[in-house]
Structures are given as C-alpha cells and as structure tokens.
Amino acid sequence: MKRVSQKGTHIAEIFDELGIGDDLVEITNAAAKSLTKEFAITAVTSVGRDWLAELAPEIAGAVAGGVVRALLKVLLRASDKVTAKLDKLLRASLETGLRMVAEAISLSSDSPAQCEFRDRRLGDAITELERAWTLAGDSPTCDADRFYVRLTQGMAAKYMTGGAEYASLRLIGCADVLEAERRSSEDAAAAMSAQREGTLKKAAEHKRSSEASKFSVGFGGAASMGHANMAQYLREDVESIDYNIRVVRERLALLVNLIGVLRAAAQTT
C-alpha cells in the first residue's frame, strides 16, 4: 500500500510544504492546552475533540487573540515560499499585500495618529490582498492560495480599530474550509482503519492456511510457503496503513486545534 503523500492540495499538507507545519502545531497545541487546562498534545487524544465548545467565549477569545498574532507572524515568514510558485501578476499583488501587512503590524500604535496610520496601512494591505484573491482564480493552486489570502486578511484585521467584524467574517470562512477538510480526513482515517482490520484478517487466514499446508502431501510445502509469504506481505501492508493513519491523525490534530483557535478569535471584539 502506498503511503500518504506529505504534499497535495490539503491545507494541512501545504502548511508542511511551506515549512510552517511544526510551528502551527506548537502554537495551536499550546493554545488548546491553555484553553482546556487538560489538553494532551498527542494526536490521538486531540482528534475529534471540539474543545472550543466547552469554553466561555470571553476566555476562548482572550487566549485566541494572542495566538492569532503569533500565527500571522508564522504565515508572513512563509510568504516567500508562497509567492515563489505564482505567476508574475499574482505574485506582485500578493507580495505587496503581505509586505504591507508585515510592515503595518510592526509599527507603533501608542498615539491616536499612529493608530490611524497603522489602520490605514492595514486597510490598504487588505485591499491589495483582495486583488490577489481575485487573481488567484487562475492559479493551479487556487483553493490553497485563496485560503492563505483570506487567513492573512482576517488576522491582519484583528490589529485594526473597528476591524473585528471583518476579521470574524474572514476567520469563520477559513474555519469552515478547514472543517470540510477535517471531515474528509476523518472519513479517510475511518476507511484506513477498516482496511487495516480487513488486511489483518486476511493475514491471519493465510497464516492458518500456511500451518495447515505443512502437513499436506504433494505440493503442500510450496503451498505453505506461498501462504506464509502472503501473510508476511499483508503484515507489511498493515505497517504502511498504520503509517498513513498516523499521518492523517496528525493532520486532524492540527485541523481541530486551528479550527478552534480561528473560531475563538472570531468571537473577540
């Protein structure tokens, strides 16, 4: 059985491709642990847990607000890799928008004038990113590029005075995208588990047949060896299935936590 590729169109896979998957796992695990007080960072215990639903909105939002800032910095750090594969027009628009966001969030906001200037720069950046979102419609990686744009827009708006409603719109939209991917990954994990059980059953049957064939006359020895080889092959297949299940569960762990963080951040004003 082939192992699940680490590359593809899945958002969680693309995070790994950009070299930020581990950072996102660390940030979202820390957020979940802080929010639930009892969160275990292992993929198995986190998969399927809708820990956000157990929390008061004000508590979830308070923690998630800080996490969003950390996530935005991680996303901006990967901007070069994101834009490198794009066509010239889209790359120019996306690079401009991302650069403007990075510059704006680094500015001081101690005085009303400074806040106004930063808000204006962030607004201009969001507008430029909207242009990039439109241009991404012709990109081979349209869905991933547009997700990246929307996520960056939502996080950037969290820094803006009066940007909470817009940020909520974008962050909830991104959470919905990840929710669909989560369901798809859960279905894949369930299918793999069923396949694993079926493969184990077949391996056991071949092992029993191998033992029984040892005592058969004629070609019993050859038959026994054939069943033994098939049993070994199937056991190796189970190892590949186990690997694939671990990959999907790790992906699910990240999705579950990131969905929770985005929905919590969307609740804050």
User: What would the pLDDT profile of 221-267 be if each residue is shown by its tens digit?
Assistant: 667 778 888 888 888 999 999 999 988 888 888 888 788 778 878 87
Residue 73 has phi, psi (to 5 degrees) of -65, -35
Q: Quote the mean pLDDT of the chain.
A: 78
195, part of any domain: no
Q: Is 31 or 24 the better-scoring residue by pLDDT?
A: 24
Q: Can you read off the two tokens belonging to residue 175?
A: 């959470």
Q: Can you read off the two tokens belonging to residue 112?
A: 């009303």
Look at residues 129, 71, 125 and name the one whose alpha carbon lies nearest to residue 102.
125
User: How many other CB atoms sit within 10 Å of the CB of residue 220?
Assistant: 13
Taking the C-alpha atoms of residue 123 and residue 193, their distance in angstroms, rounded to an integer, is 47
The pTM of the full predicted model, rounded to 2 decimals, is 0.74
167, part of any domain: yes
Count of structural domains within the chain: 1
230, part of any domain: no
Burial pattern 42-81, b for ≥16 Cβ within 10 A else e, equals: ebeebbebebbeebeeeebbebbbebbebbbebbbebbee
211, part of any domain: no
Helix, strand, coil shares, percent, the chain, to 5? 80, 0, 20
**How much of the chain exceeds pLDDT 90, in percent?**
29
Domain span including residue 112: 11-186+246-267
Contact yes or no for 260/20 (Cβ under 8 A): no
198, part of any domain: no
In this model, does residue 27 exceed pLDDT 50?
Answer: yes
* Residue 268: pLDDT band with limits 50, 70, 90: low
99, part of any domain: yes
